[in-house]
Chain A
């Protein structure tokens, strides 16, 4: 492996970045749902050269028991990088950085989940970075929230995440590895798109107040785009599992065991739902 050298510039005279992107352009993102058979829910993300797998198990019985929370499920996130995911072999022992990312991921995802529906149980989220090319913590959150939805965990919303950084003194969206290493700063953010609540906000490097506010705005715009991709990936996964979902309906109802009829007299429905199936 030849030692990496610092590129002469991160933004070229035409205003484009190393990989030819404009400053506010995301890398190509491919999301896929249901990639792992044994997991209750799973997702993969390719973002530029970054490739990450997310697996969700649960809600299930929590061991060891003393970690159980009486009012909600415990969200256990584990972020790991494969030894071969970076040019210099990553040591297999869990690093301080992995611990940190596991924690911030959990904190970023938890506000979106209805964990209080499963007291004493655990929801396990496992993240494996197969190939790292910058932005793994944000990509992990994006993929993990997709895997959680795939597992059928009730949630307020999917959580998209993206980093905004500063390269050659200019704000850039979705940092690549070199921009991360040789740039002047990095602000990863994750949001709940509808309310624009930030669930993850970290920073390294220094930003002026104006830069910071602009960075947040850029991040939110980027997250909203990623959110669309997430919704799309989820719908795609389930549409695929329904090859002949016909436009024709009128069939026996899926949820027979719900006694909805009790509620028809509670308030008049102004919506005329076509032929309420009997």
Chain B
């Protein structure tokens, strides 16, 4: 009876039998003692090698070590910042992981309540954390631009395979972004219409995350809107800032 019981990219529901036999359960699935693999989520079932997984369509952000996240400082406690990164777990950032020594005793000089930062999840397990770090990779306090919130489950799609989607968007409308795995996207655009366009693109990806040929459709939409913008007010975006240092989602 070994085999696979789903179509590629099929929408599966919890408890649905996915595979039986020599397959390995991965994220979004569970197996029983007979080695049958079932879905644990509503999502798209996929087979990679002999590993079966379900890509979730909904869900909150659960930190994983190495994730890039965007968070808001909610509290300054001694030499820690408490940072809201969305999801059920509040993170903390120790000054040692963010500042070069020596630093001032009152660390609220550097970052205070309400500041937005990009950081990395340093450690997280069932008992403690998550703890963040801002060492390296251009993590910093985000002082201008805006933060857009989308469902964390859609972030892989917004980044695309090896950054294909986000790079395409950056190329087309020349914006700077930092995409956090926790569903927050920092955007800085040269003018308001471009910013609106960027938001529209991200919202569109969020809505249609589980459809195929999405990169092409987004590209087409951006081209069309760009042409419209040029037609109406002939705003020319001259600035071509190098944003290579900002594109960091690992």
Q: Which residues of A contact B (CB under 8 A)?
A: 40-41, 58-62, 70-71, 73, 114, 117-122, 149-158, 192-194, 230-231, 234-235, 238-239, 241-246, 248-258, 260-261, 263-264, 266-271, 273-274, 276
- Chain B contact residues: over half helix, strand or loop, or mixed? loop
- A192–B60 CA distance with the chains assembled, in angstroms: 25
Q: List 29 A-B contacts (CB under 8 A).
A: A58-B60, A59-B88, A62-B88, A71-B126, A118-B88, A149-B41, A152-B153, A155-B40, A155-B41, A156-B15, A192-B15, A230-B13, A242-B211, A252-B161, A252-B162, A254-B44, A254-B157, A255-B46, A255-B55, A258-B26, A258-B53, A261-B48, A263-B49, A266-B24, A266-B50, A267-B24, A268-B50, A269-B23, A274-B8
- Chain A contact residues: over half helix, strand or loop, or mixed? loop
Q: Which residue in A70, A152, A244, A249 is a CB contact (below 8 Å) of B9? A: A249
- Establish whether residues B210 and A256, one from each chain, have CB atoms under 8 Å apart when the complex forms: no
Q: Which of these binds chain A: B93-101, B107-115, B212-220, B237-245?
A: B212-220
If A242-B210, A246-B211, A260-B49 touch, whether A152 touches B56 (CB-CB below 8 Å) is yes
Q: Which residue in A121, A152, A251 is a CB contact (below 8 Å) of B213? A: A251
- Give every chain B residue within 8 A of A243 (Cβ-Cβ): 211
- Give every chain A residue within 8 A of B26 (Cβ-Cβ): 258, 260
Q: Which residue in A70, A238, A248, A260 is a CB contact (below 8 Å) of B57? A: A238
Chain A, residue nearest B44 (CB): A254
Cβ of B204 under 8 Å from chain A? no
Q: Which residue in A40, A151, A194, A273 is a CB contact (below 8 Å) of B47? A: A273
- Establish whether residues B48 and A252, one from each chain, have CB atoms under 8 Å apart when the complex forms: no
- Establish whether residues B53 and A149, one from each chain, have CB atoms under 8 Å apart when the complex forms: no
If A59-B88, A251-B212, A255-B156 touch, whether A235 touches B62 (CB-CB below 8 Å) is no
If A156-B14, A235-B13 touch, whether A269 touches B58 (CB-CB below 8 Å) is no
Chain A, residue nearest B12 (CB): A235
Chain A, residue nearest B51 (CB): A263
- Establish whether residues A149 and B210, one from each chain, have CB atoms under 8 Å apart when the complex forms: no
- Establish whether residues B8 and A273, one from each chain, have CB atoms under 8 Å apart when the complex forms: yes
- Establish whether residues A254 and B58, one from each chain, have CB atoms under 8 Å apart when the complex forms: no
- Give every chain B residue within 8 A of A121 (Cβ-Cβ): 88-89
In the complex, besides A245-B210, A269-B22, 8 extra interface pairs with C-beta distance below 8 angstroms are: A70-B127, A149-B41, A156-B40, A235-B11, A258-B48, A261-B49, A263-B50, A271-B3
- Give every chain B residue within 8 A of A41 (Cβ-Cβ): 58
Chain A, residue nearest B29 (CB): A154
- Establish whether residues A256 and B159, one from each chain, have CB atoms under 8 Å apart when the complex forms: yes
Chain B, residue nearest A59 (CB): B88
If A248-B212, A252-B215 touch, whether A271 touches B50 (CB-CB below 8 Å) is yes
If A152-B153, A154-B40, A155-B40 touch, whether A244 touches B211 (CB-CB below 8 Å) is yes
Residue among B21, B30, B59, B250 facing the most chain A CB atoms (10 A cut-off): B59
- Give every chain B residue within 8 A of A276 (Cβ-Cβ): 48
- Give every chain B residue within 8 A of A234 (Cβ-Cβ): 13, 42
- Give every chain A residue within 8 A of B207 (Cβ-Cβ): 241
Cβ of B209 under 8 Å from chain A? yes
Query: B65 → chain A, closest Cβ, in Å?
Result: 12
- A266–B53 CA distance with the chains assembled, in angstroms: 16
- Give every chain A residue within 8 A of B4 (Cβ-Cβ): 271
If A152-B153, A238-B42 touch, whether A245 touches B50 (CB-CB below 8 Å) is no
If A61-B89, A266-B24 touch, whether A155 touches B9 (CB-CB below 8 Å) is no
- A269–B209 CA distance with the chains assembled, in angstroms: 29
- Give every chain A residue within 8 A of B56 (Cβ-Cβ): 152
Q: Which residue in B38, B46, B181 is a CB contact (below 8 Å) of A156? A: B38
Cβ of B27 under 8 Å from chain A? yes
If A254-B156, A257-B156 touch, whether A149 touches B11 (CB-CB below 8 Å) is no
- Give every chain B residue within 8 A of A256 (Cβ-Cβ): 156, 159-162
